[in-house]
Each structure stands twice: as structure tokens, then as C-alpha cells.
Chains A and B, each alone.
Chain A
């Protein structure tokens, strides 16, 4: 028999990867792009709950597989808080079982989860006692808020929170708080609910954002140590409860509430679901023969019992499981709880007979408390369906994993007779159709359930029949099981011995049918829309890229091929350009000038075009000795290219006839950024032995050719610092020749007069060239193509954006409709 530890989890995860990231993107886009998502978009959530759990289990399994005992330790070790703050939650059991530990550490928030266990126990008890109380639907909230299955509701809550607050929901939440307090008073451990309340605001405040509870949930996933004190965690110091807890509690509740407006039309149906669940819930508590014991008594063998909560959604039934849960989030009312969990609770409740440990009873009780009724009748689909009809579902890829895990779970600690839970359902569902509501009411009598639990045993004979029958059956058309197949196996009537036990599920009221119809409608919308949208959008994106490429290449290619130079160049020089022109004119004849090559090869084309006019003008006018210094590793190799493309070293008459080592020197690469620059300013020959001056102030001017504002800043800052100690540098102009993108960033230094003058981008260069009568160079050659390219960009961006805007608005309208 398979053991959990033998699961090749990575394989399972690998199978899921093709689905999950895509789903993740879809959900993100739904959350981001649309303020009010329609039902079809929100239907993406079931996929979350359907797809997420396998990974959770896979994570557990993989760790078990890797190292049965060690891994839970290090997973637990992920949360130093457990060690750092042992006394933080007094009501918590001192030593949770290995399985719980494992699970909790994966979730990264042991306090919360143990609290949840307590809380759910109280809630379930409360349910069983007061299932008719109107306020009770909200008692689902706390449990669900900490349930690892409501990933998407958390995500959407935070996403929706960016769009809309929900004050009314807040009141409900407060009401829920009172309910929780009330239930807490009835519970065996009065301190637990308060502790939960204490812990919830911590979670909520763990991230300072409006999506706080979402982020804290993510912290749990990430396995961080203290989501409740994220900022103090690295110090590993326990932080006392915050006085602001109530506020944060409200915010947490508010965040829960934020999703409500997104589905204003659903609450009635949800309400009905709840009342229906509550009716069923009356029976759910009864299987518990004894109150919950401290989990310190729990042996490690309980681990597989807890994990199926994550496994169940992998199966076909997982879909069914997630649907009510999802419907809840779609309708923004606490609604039908996860059937998988129900299945688990049912499973656990039966395990009570099989010497189920106390903690498991406790958790199963809490689960059944969460999802009464379902805990009894829905378990059969998870397992039977998982093996037979899973392939027909969208999550079929994840099915094998789920089957293996489920089997493994059964094989580990569960008595054989329990490993075929369908039997219970098979005859349960079989009988359901015949049971009248009156009988159903009678069947809710607490005294009946233990007998039902015991009577589960003999039914295993039906399993094979049920399993075989499911494939041939048509899906249910109505009721809460609508769309499911094989939930009601084709078995001879009378094969069951307990006609009353679980009959209620098949009694579909009009409201249930309405809810199921809504569910079907939403599911249909979800399954139909997504693939079409993504494929078409990807295609359109590629087409758009190709069209843009073609346009840019053809237009620019034509302009360059035609060698057009018809566009006039403005003779109005910007202030900084004329300042640069004046600075060049004031350079003494034949003086050494430092030219800093501080750009990447990517921008060599632009910088050569932009610096060409200035360098040519300077060489023609003042015949300086040029020292080229590079502060980028590739720069020294770009120097030769620069002097040849700007015709400085070209033979006369076309070139300026400068000779390397005579009129210009390549000093090479100066490492160290600002430190290197400072070293060079302090003593050029110490920093670069090849330097042609002893003192930096001997340079008549410093010209920095840069593509990066930071590089310019380094020279500005170092020269400024040096000027304070060396007055001789005060008269030395610092000129910048910058790439168009760096120009605006260097403007502040120009306006602060730290930079004497600047030429930035092709327009400045072309103007400089034409004003100073420099022989036409690269700038002029590029000018016409540059103009047409800009015009093309303006047209494309304008019309493209308008088109984007139009389609976006149209999509929103369509979504709203």
C-alpha cells in the first residue's frame, strides 16, 4: 500500500504547473483590470480552489517523501515564532501532533491554525445547538477566513478592496464578532475565541496595506515566522498584543467585507444555501461521542487524516467541493462550505470508530460543524468520483495525484472498511429520493447519528457497484448536486439499511435549485470564455508587434535609403547648448581637454552623433590635445570608434588628421566609479599612469559623454567636492554630452550651474552643428529619419492608445452588462 512519504510530489507539481500559473494570471488580470467583475470572471475562482490544494498536499507529500521526520521539523522551523513565543497563546495545546505541526508549519502560522481548530470546534457545537439562529451564517467567516482553501476569496478581497469599500459588510462582521463571542461563551474553552480575535487583527495588521488580510495569508503560505509581527520578526522578538487590535480587527473584517459589492445579486441564494446547510447541520455534531481532547494526546498517525483536506479538490468531487465554497465567494455571503472538508469530517467522524485520535475527532467535529449535513452525505463523491469521473473535469491533469494521495491516506491509518466511503453515500443517496421532508426532520434527531455511524460498516459491499455505476450515469440536473455524476449510484433500492440517515441532501428546494442553476450558469460562463480570450489576445499582441515592426522598419529604412536631408534645423539654441558653445570657444588654443567616455556600446550610435558636432567644433576651433578616459569597461574600446566616426583621426581634408598618442590619447579604463574619479581628480598620473597631465586642473575643460545621469552625477559631485579644496578647478568648465534619455535628468545639475553646458540628444546636436557651421556630420545625416520616426511614434502612440482606450471601455461595458 502506498505511503504518503512515497509520493513523487514534484512530479505532481510539475503536472499542475501548466495550469496553475495560467490560472494565476487570469485571476490576477480579473482582479486588476476590472473594478466590478462579472460572474463569469469571478467563476475563475473555483479553479483556484480546485487547483491549489493538490500543491498543498504535494508540498506535504514531497517533504514526507524526501524525509519523513526531518522535513516536518524544518517546516516547523520555518516559524521561529513557535519557539520564540511559546506562551503567546495560552489556550493552545502545548504540543500539536506531527501532522498538525507539519500542516501548520507549512501554513506558517501555528497559532492561527490551532486557534482555528478551537474556533471551529466551538462553532460546530454552536451550530448543532442553534442551527436556526439567523445570524449564524456569518459564523462561517472566521473559520473560512483562516481556511487555506479560500485563497481566491482572499486575493479578490484585496483586489476588490482597491476598488470599493463595503461599510454594510462591516456591520455584519461586527455582528459576527458578537456571534463569535456568544459562541465562545458556550464553548468549553472560553479563552479560545478571544485569542482568535486577538490573532486575527494581528494577521490583518501584518501588512500595512488595505489587502492586509490577504498579505498575512500569503505570509502564512510563505511560511514566514510571524505574520502578526512581520517587521519585528527578523529580530525574532515576541511582540505583545497591539493596543490597536480592535481597529485592526475591524479592518480585517472590512477586508473580508470588501468583496461583497462585487456580487450584489447573490445573497438571497446564498442565504438559502445556508439555511439548508443549517438544517442539515443539526445532525453533524452528533457523531461526536466525546468532547475534544487536547491534541497533545494525538499521535503522529493523524497526519494523513488532516491532509486530505487538501487532497480532495484534486478529484472530480473537488470541483463539487469547491463550487459551494466558490459560490460563497461569488455571492459574497458565507455559503455552502467545502464538500471536501465535509468529506474529511465525515471520514474523520467515521474514524472515531476506528480509534481515531482525539485531535482528529476535534478537527473533524469542527469541520462537520463548518459544513453540517454535507459532512455526512457528500463524502462519497470525493473518492468515488475522483477515481472515475475526474478525467472529465477541467482539472483532470491533477487527478492522478489526487487519487494516489487519497489512496495513500486510506492505506495509512484508516481501517480498510473506511477506505471505501462511497458505500455510505451510495445507499444514502439511493434512499434520498424516497425520504419525505418530515422523515428528514426526524432524521436530524441527534440520537440517530451514532447508529448511522456504526451502520456504515456493512455497506462496503456496495462500493464496487457504486463505482462501476458512476461512469454510466448522466449528470444530475438539479439540486445541489446538479452537474455531478455518479453521486447517486445505480443500485437496487433497498440495498441500504438506513433510509433516514442522509436523505436530506436530495431534497432540493426551489432556492437550492436556483442556487445550483446560478452555479451552472457561472460555471458555463467560466469554462467557455477563458481560452478564447487568452488565445485571441496573444495573437493580437503578436500581430500588433509585427505591424509596428514593419511600419518602423519600412519608414525609417526608406528615409535612410533616400539619404534625405530636407528638413530644416532650428537655429534657436537652448540655453545649456549655447552655454556649451561658449565654453568651447573659451578653451585656450592647444590646451589639454579631458573627454570622458562613459556610455555603453548600446548608445554608441547616439553618443557619437550627439558628441560629434561639439568635438569637431572644438578640434577645428582650438586644436586641443584630447585625453579620452573611460569609466565603463567597454569604453576604452569605443574610443577608437568615436574618433573615427567623428572624423577626428581621419586624414585631411575630410578628417581632422589627429594622430593617436600625439594629439589624442586613450587613457583607458578608470575603475571604481566615484572613488576612481576622485582618485583621478586628486592625482591623474597615480590613478592612470598614462595620464598626460600631473594635475587635474591642467585640463582646460572636462567633457563627459554619458548615457546615464548617475555617471554625470559622479563627475559633478566629485568635481564639486574637489573645487572646495582646489580653487584652480573653479574656472574649469564641466560640459555634458548626454543621451536624450539622460538629458532631462542632468538638467537639475545644469540649472544648479554645476554643469557649465550640455548637449543632450540629436536635436541639440543638430542645432549645435548648424549654428556653429560645423561640417555636416552624423547628426545631420540622421535628422530627417529622426523627424519621421518621431512623427510615426506620435501617430502610433496616439491612435494605438485611443484604440486601447476604446476597447478597454467597451470591455468594461460588456463586463458590466
Chain B
């Protein structure tokens, strides 16, 4: 097993370094190798979806078999998944019947889930002071409310001074967002480097 871990690490590091060099160095054949390896990764991720589907079904079947809480709902999930996947394999995703699955189930449920956030977000912001009563929370809610005020259409047109609010808050938000994005990029960079150095090996190696 140890040799497997070592070979896996070698595979990950070499693939990663080739792709990374393909990003920054345009010396042939690095860019082509990068595309080839990313294609492989896409294929592996695609095959992983089939394994994941099995996992999804197996977990629900286990719930049904052991009569766990929600087992009956699990049966619904498995049934709908198998029917959709079965028909999808036969008919293809562009078939009108498959589009029906999207139009009749996926879009309505997702859109409705998104819609209920219009209530739950208000609820969460009302309860914010019950969670944290500090100046940052006050600033947060103040900024949100003022920004919505500046955006809000009224029967008399936009509120006076809306442009100034949008200018100042927009500038602050752009600056803050830029700082956050740069920070996240730094974190991503270092996380990726840890994997490329074999310090993190989530692929089964210790």
C-alpha cells in the first residue's frame, strides 16, 4: 500500500507540474501537454460522476434497508434518479422529454428554493443582532439598507443623492472585494502549491 501512495503522489505531482508549466511557459510541448492532461482530468471527473451516482444511490438504499430516518424519501430519490438517468442515456439530454424534466422539476424547484431566500435572508438579517451585537454588524446592515435604498425604484424616481451613495459604497465594495479576491487567490495559490509539493495528499496517500 505504501508503494501505491508513493506512486500516486508521483502521478499527482508530475501531472500538476506539467499543467502548471503549461500555464506559464509557452515552450512546446508544454501547452499541448497541459491541454492533454486537463482533458484526461475532465474524463476522470466525468467517470467520477458515474461513481458518485452509485454512491448517491447506495447511500439512499442503505437508508431504506436499515429503515433510517428519511428512508422513504430516499426511495423517491433513487426512483427519480434511475428514471431520469435511464431515459437520459437512451434519449439524450436534448430530447423534449428530458427537457420536460428540466422545465417541470429542476427549474421550478431550484427557482423556488432561490425564491425562499428572499424571506430567509430577511429573517437572518433580523436575527443578526441576536447572534452578534457589534459595530461590524451595525455597519453591515446599515450598508446593505442604504445600498438597497439607493437602488430602490420609487414612484418618484430614485431617491435624492442615490448616485453619491452608489459611488461611495460602490468604491468601498469594489476595493473590499478586490482585497478579498486577492486574499482568496493567495490562499488558493498556497493550497495548490502544498498539493504540488506532496504536502497534502487527499488521493488516498497518507
Contact = CB atoms under 8 A, between A and B. Distances in A.
Interface string A295-309: 000000000000000
Interface string A593-608: 0000000111111000
Interface stretch (A128-136, A459-467, A568-576, A577-585): A568-576
Interface stretch (B4-12, B50-58, B77-85, B142-150): B142-150
B119 A552 contact: yes
Interface string A677-691: 011001000000000
Interface in B97-140: 98-99, 102-103, 106-107, 110-111, 113-114, 118-119, 122-123, 125-130, 133
A427 B128 CA distance: 58
B95 to A, nearest CB: 10
A675 B126 contact: no
B66 interface: no
A808 interface: yes
Nearest to A550: B119
A535 interface: no
Nearest to A633: B93
Interface stretch (A270-278, A339-347, A742-750): A742-750
A549 B116 CA distance: 9
Contacts of B103: 637, 641
A801 B41 CA distance: 48
A668 B141 CA distance: 41
A797 interface: yes
B173 interface: yes
Contact of A568 (B107, B151, B153, B166): B153
B110 A566 contact: no
B160 to A, nearest CB: 12
A675 B166 CA distance: 36
A93 interface: no
B73 interface: no
B29 interface: no
A603 B114 contact: yes
B204 interface: no
A548 B120 CA distance: 9
A78 to B, nearest CB: 15
A526 to B, nearest CB: 22
Contacts of A807: 130
Contacts, number: 153
A227 B102 CA distance: 51
A25 to B, nearest CB: 13
Contact of B41 (A566, A675, A745, A794): A675
A237 interface: no
Nearest to B112: A602
B93 A790 contact: no
A809 B145 CA distance: 22
Interface stretch (A409-417, A516-524, A781-789): A781-789
Nearest to B155: A567
Chain A residues touching B, range: 35 or more
A558 interface: no
B38 interface: yes
A447 interface: no
Given A567-B155, A641-B103, A675-B41, A797 B129 contact: no
Contact of B152 (A676, A678, A791): A791
A672 interface: yes
B39 interface: yes
Interface in A640-699: 640-641, 666, 668-669, 671-672, 675-676, 678-679, 682
A572 B164 CA distance: 13
Contacts of B45: 671
Contacts of B35: 675, 678-679, 682
B127 A568 contact: no
B161 to A, nearest CB: 13
Chain B interface extent, by class = 35 or more
**Most B CB atoms within 10 A — which of A541, A640, A676, A793?**
A793
A808 to B, nearest CB: 5
Interface string A12-30: 0000000000000000000
B42 A548 contact: no
B25 to A, nearest CB: 12
A793 B122 contact: yes
A291 B163 CA distance: 83
A805 B153 contact: no
B178 interface: yes
Contacts of B177: 744-745, 747-748
Given A725-B26, A804-B130, A605 B111 contact: yes
Contacts of A751: 174
A797 B114 contact: no
A798 B141 CA distance: 8
A563 to B, nearest CB: 16
Contacts of B86: none
Nearest to B49: A633
Contacts of A783: 153
B173 A797 contact: no
A676 B103 CA distance: 26
A671 B46 contact: yes
Given A794-B148, A797-B141, A797-B144, A604 B111 contact: yes
A636 interface: yes
Contacts of B170: 744, 747
Contacts of B41: 672, 675
B128 A545 contact: no
Contacts of A784: 153
B111 A602 contact: yes
A672 B40 CA distance: 10
A568 B155 CA distance: 6
B88 to A, nearest CB: 11
A675 B38 contact: yes
Nearest to B120: A545
A555 to B, nearest CB: 11
B178 A763 contact: no
Given A640-B99, A676-B42, A800-B126, A552 B153 contact: no
A682 B42 CA distance: 17
B152 A790 contact: yes
B155 A796 contact: no
B87 to A, nearest CB: 14
A281 B32 CA distance: 80
Contacts of A791: 152, 154
A641 B107 contact: yes
A634 interface: yes
B153 A804 contact: no
Contact of A567 (B113, B128, B154): B154
Nearest to A673: B42
B174 A572 contact: no
B118 A797 contact: no
A763 B93 CA distance: 34
Nearest to A640: B99
A796 B110 CA distance: 25
A676 B46 CA distance: 13
A544 interface: yes
Interface string A467-502: 000000000000000000000000000000000000
Contact of A800 (B99, B118, B125): B125
Interface in A688-734: 721, 725
B123 A545 contact: yes
Given A745-B181, A804-B130, 9 more contacts: A604-B111, A637-B99, A637-B102, A675-B35, A675-B39, A744-B177, A796-B126, A797-B122, A801-B125
- A-B pairs, top 3 by smallest CB distance, nearest first, are A800-B126, A675-B38, A787-B153
Interface of A: 33, 541, 544-545, 548-549, 552, 566-570, 572, 574, 600-605, 634, 636-638, 640-641, 666, 668-669, 671-672, 675-676, 678-679, 682, 721, 725, 744-745, 747-748, 751, 761, 763, 766, 783-784, 786-787, 789-791, 793-794, 796-798, 800-801, 803-805, 807-809
13 contacts: A548-B126, A568-B157, A570-B158, A574-B166, A601-B110, A602-B114, A634-B102, A637-B103, A666-B94, A675-B39, A679-B39, A790-B153, A801-B125
